[in-house]
Amino acid sequence: MLIVRWQGSGTGRSALSPSGLRQSVQPSCHLILSDPARVGSYGPTWCPERSPTCAHELWHDFVMAVSVRVATPEDAAAVGEVHAESWRVGFADRFTADELARAIQRRRRMWSGVMAHDGFPLSSLLVAEDTEAIIGFLHLGPARERTGDGEIYALYLVPRVWGGRAAHLLMDEALLRLSAQGFDRAILWTHGEGRAATFYNKTGWQLTGRQRYEDLGDDLRALVVEYEHPLIDA
C-alpha cells in the first residue's frame, strides 16, 4: 500500500488511494512518497514544489506505465505536439507572446518534415509513452562540433509529466546507446537555469564552462551552456 505523508503549514493527512491522494492535495504541503518498495530504486521522493501539479507528476509514475522506444514516422505529429507544449509552458517567460507563438507553431510542424526525410535516422529519436500517449522524446547522435563525442540534441516532455521518471528513462537509454556507438563522452547544450538545468545538475552532468548564443529560428537567439557526461562501455 502506498502511504502519502504530508508536511507543511496545512493539516497533516494521509491518502491510501488515487482518489484520496487527489482530494488531499493542498498547495501549502510538501509530498513524500514513503513506501520504498513501490518507489523502487529512486527511494522516498521529496517534492520541493508547493503545488498540486507536483503531486500529480509523482502520482503519474505509479499509475501509468511508461516505456521508451525508437520513434516511427507515424509518431511525427505527437513528437511535434510534445515539443510545442513543452515550449508553450517552459519558455513563456523568455519570449514575447508573438515570438513564442511563432516558435511553438514551428516546432509543432517541423517533425513531420524532419522524420520523413530519407537521410534522417529514426534510431536517433527516442520517444517515451504512457498508456495514453507519447509524453516525451529525446534526439541523440554524434556531436555537431566535436569529433568523438556523442550529443543529446533535444529532450522534451509534456508539462503534465515534468518531475516524473520519463526524463530519466529517456536519458538512461540515450546514454547507453551513445556508449554502444563507441563514444566516451556525451555533451548537450541548454539554458543555464531553470528546470532543465536542475535536472542535468542532479543526474551526473557537469558544466564544461563553454557557452554560446544559439539560433532558435524565427529570429530568436538564446544564451546556452554546455554540459558533459562520461559514458561507460555498453
Domains (range + CATH), the chain: 4-63 (no CATH), 67-230 (3.40.630.30)
Are the C-beta atoms of 46 and 32 separated by less than 8 Å? yes
| Residue 223 exposure: Cα atoms within 13 Å on the Cβ side | 6
Low-confidence ranges of the chain (pLDDT < 50): 1-57, 59-60
Sign of torsion over alpha carbons 92, 95, 96, 102:
negative
Q: What is the pLDDT of residue 233?
A: 67
Angle between helices 76-90 and 97-116 (to 10 degrees): 160
Q: What is the pLDDT of residue 52?
A: 47
Q: What is the pLDDT of residue 147?
A: 87
Q: What is the pLDDT of residue 71?
A: 97
Q: What is the pLDDT of residue 122?
A: 95
Q: What is the pLDDT of residue 17?
A: 30
Run of H or E residues at 4: strand 4-8
User: What is the rounded distance in angstroms from the CA atom of residue 203 to the CA atom of residue 155?
Assistant: 14
pLDDT one-digit tens code per residue, 207-231: 999 999 999 887 888 999 999 999 9
Matching residue, cell 516558435: 103
The arrangement of strands across the sheet holding 134-142 comes to 67-70, 125-129, 134-142, 150-157, 185-190, 220-230, 206-217
For residue 56, give the amino acid letter: H
User: What is the rounded distance in angstroms from the CA atom of residue 112 to the CA atom of residue 107?
Assistant: 10
Q: What is the pLDDT of residue 30?
A: 32
Q: Tell me the three state secondary structure of residue 173.
A: helix
